Amino acid sequence: MKISKAKQLVEPQLTKKRYDHSIRVAKTAHYLAELYEESTEKAELAGVLHDYAKYRSLEEMAERIKRSKLPSDLLEFHSELWHAPVGALIVEEECGLKDEAIQLAIKYHTTGRANMTALEKIIFLADYIEPGRSFPGIEEVREAAETNLDYACWLALRNTIQYLLRRKAKIYPDTFHAYNDLSRHINGGNE
**CATH code of the domain covering residue 41:** 1.10.3210.10
Spatial CB neighbours of 24, under 8 Å, sequence gap ≥ 6 = 130, 131, 132
83: amino acid identity, one letter: H
Rounded to an integer, what distance in angstroms lies between the CA atom of residue 164 and that of residue 167?
Answer: 5
Count the domains in the chain: 1
Asked if the structure places residue 103 within a domain, the reply is: yes
Asked if the structure places residue 188 within a domain, the reply is: no
Q: Which domain holds residue 76?
A: 3-135
Asked if the structure places residue 145 within a domain, the reply is: no
Asked if the structure places residue 9 within a domain, the reply is: yes
Rounded to an integer, what distance in angstroms lies between the CA atom of residue 83 and that of residue 146?
Answer: 28
Q: Mean of the pLDDT values across residues 37-53?
A: 98
Q: 98-117 pLDDT, tens per residue?
A: 999 999 999 999 999 999 99
What is the pLDDT, as a whole number, of residue 185?
87
Rounded to an integer, what distance in angstroms lies between the CA atom of residue 19 and that of residue 48?
Answer: 8
